[in-house]
A = this chain, B = another copy of it.
Amino acid sequence: MSLHGGRIWERDDPRSWLDFSANINPWGPPAFAVEAAREALQWADRYPDGESRALRSALMEATGHDFRGIVVGNGAGDLIRALFASLRPRRFLTVEPTFAEYGDVARSLEIPVVSFRLKAEDAFAFPVDALCGAVGEGDLVLACQPNNPTGRAWALAELESLLAATIARGASLVVDECFFNLTVPHPGSLPKGPWPEGLFLLRAFTKDFSLPGLRVGYLLTSSRGAAIVRAFLQPWPINCVGEAAALACAERGVPFIEACRLRLAEARRRLTEGLAARGFHVFPGAANYLLCRSPLEGESLEKKLAPFRILIRRCHTFPGLDDGFIRLAVRSEEENGRLLAALDGLNLPG
């Protein structure tokens, strides 16, 4: 199993940490979502609706997508596994570095992984032509939008090229949009025209509504694609509390997200400036997290920030990155200020 962010549970007094390693909206969860979850506890003695009809209806309303093409799962992680296990692609085409879970799942299912290296000297630009040229029949291509950990978003035109190539060759394209609502500027979403067979958009309530503890994600795809993935999931993929919170977010979440995106853009700008002034090179990106080259090795920085109970994400576990790279979530103005103040006390080189 790869290292993931948010590993506070391996620390002493885990809930006291200020966690810059998990990329969660710092202004959530919204009260209406927690209240809906609380009320749903009265139904804990009933099986949830395994088909999640209420939630899928609300998602249909919110997205305009066909009800039959919506699949709900126990967080994006549940759906990533179900995608690979049910589609059983011939090969998995990916870029590196990216979210490690995709490749871990592919390898656990003995699906060959073909990866294209992103380079720091190119600002981690996507090798779209190489990817398009490599796609073959039965392959699965996955684009993390924006990419994790680099923070760079795929241009819509790049995704359109990928989609055209995958459709033309009889392959599948999965776009992981779990950070999508916290991406500024907003990159837009596929497809332009009618929904093509083989396209899957993966979303979650984890990051944008700050509900990683409740585990609800969903796929938008064709009704045929939905039936294939759903058949792999268990009869009751999400619980009553997660469903209620997600339903509230789907029905009432837009103003909350809009307000958070505005604050996030400003908080990101200021955190980026603050880090640059302290010797960090921050790579350009659009996400609610920043990939940085640190003036201190990640291991050393992590140790020095521990007395402040601040947790960062070292990136040496990502292919192509070494321990000079760290990833920092953009948190609230006050929390980012605490990080910058802690860095000021470290006597960083340069």
Contacts and interface: CB of A to CB of B under 8 A. Distances in A.
Interface of A: 1, 4-6, 8-9, 14-15, 19, 22, 24, 28-29, 33-34, 37-38, 40-41, 43-51, 53, 74-75, 77-78, 80-81, 85, 101, 108, 210-215, 231-232, 234-242, 245
A159 B25 CA distance: 51
Contact of A214 (B4, B24, B44, B53): B44
B78 A234 contact: yes
A308 B245 CA distance: 32
How many monomers of this chain does the complex have?
A: 2
A310 to B, nearest CB: 15
Given A237-B74, A239-B213, A239-B242, A46 B108 contact: no
The residue among A5, A74, A210, A238 with the most chain B CB atoms within 10 A of its own CB is A74
Nearest to A33: B44
Given A1-B231, A40-B213, A45-B212, 6 more contacts: A9-B50, A37-B44, A48-B215, A77-B234, A80-B234, A241-B241
B239 A214 contact: yes
A51 B101 contact: no
Contact of A44 (B51, B75, B101, B245): B245
Contacts of A240: 213-214
Contacts of A14: 49
Contacts of A5: 47
A124 B24 CA distance: 53
